[in-house]
Amino acid sequence: MLEPKSFEDQALKFVGREIYETFFRGYTRKQWGYEPSQLPSSILKRLPIRFNYDDNYYSSSYQGIPKNGYTYIIEKMLDHPNITVHLSTTFTRDLAKKYEHVFYSGPIDAWFSHCAGRLGYRTLDFETIEEDGDFQGNAVINYCDEDVPWTRISEHKHFTPWEQHDKTIVYREYSRFCEVEDIPYYPIRLMDDKELLNKYVMMAKKEKNITFVGRLGTYRYLDMHITIAEALEVADKYIKSVSDGTTMPTFCVNPLS
């Protein structure tokens, strides 16, 4: 079989038609709003396929979340005399001129005011449910059937089994196309999007003193541990560029690959 181009091709290669149609096809249509045959294979390539009883999502040796939560980590990171946080502030190209270097993690097309057109994104709506006791017994359950309107339910107390809570809060997630006023979550990255993305990448490479990072800045659907690892790599490259007196690249990855 040739190298899979679409999500559907990749799924059929990985697991065959029966499992694909049972678990992947309906969920993918809900999550992305497109037929799996229209989506790139990269969306599925990031998922591990195993033929054993290992039920971990990742194959990483060490997995988990911070004991005190992510909010605590961010608070500690920002608690530095050289860091100033501006809330409710839209960062524009004009503001960038005031800084020695900018690391931009917003949508790349928004940086250029969508002058060549809008790239496609998905956003999420959340329904909050408060209950006594245990709601579903797991941190996350995905719903593959298309007749179920939500894609998954998260019960957050199961992420921290070392804590004990009599009550519980769960969130149902609903995926839909991202409109102008919505927060973009996932780059869709259809085959046609690459042509438009290429235009923005060419514009970005002409910018000075800015590096595009993250899911939105590079228009790639990445797992968060990969996103964080790339951010740390970018930071190391910037520190080295300052030390060497060289120019920091606009992209530290190739978003067109």
- The Cα–Cα gap between 26 and 146 comes to 5
Strands 186-187 and 140-142: unpaired
Candidate list 46, 93, 118, 176, residue with the active-site label: 46
β-pair partners for 127 = 172
Are 185 and 76 in contact by the 8 Å Cβ rule? The answer is: no
Catalytic annotation present for 75: no
Catalytic annotation present for 173: yes
Strands 102-104 and 210-212: parallel
Are 197 and 216 in contact by the 8 Å Cβ rule? The answer is: no
What is the token pair recorded at 241? 């560029």
- The Cα–Cα gap between 39 and 176 comes to 15
Catalytic annotation present for 220: no
Candidate list 8, 27, 104, 122, residue with the active-site label: 122
Concatenated DSSP letters of 26-86: HHHHHHHSS-GGGSBTHHHHTS---SSS---SS--SS----TTHHHHHHHHHH-STT----
Please work out, in degrees rounded to the nearest 5, the angle formed at the alpha carbon of residue 23 by the alpha carbons of 19 and 28: 125
Candidate list 173, 186, 189, 219, residue with the active-site label: 173
Catalytic annotation present for 122: yes
What is the token pair recorded at 240? 């080295």
What is the token pair recorded at 233? 């790599």
Catalytic annotation present for 192: no
Half-sphere exposure of 122 (CA within 13 A, CB side): 22
Catalytic annotation present for 152: yes
Candidate list 109, 121, 152, 200, residue with the active-site label: 152
Catalytic annotation present for 223: yes
Candidate list 50, 70, 130, 163, residue with the active-site label: 50
| Active-site amino acid positions | 46, 50, 122, 152, 173, 221, 223
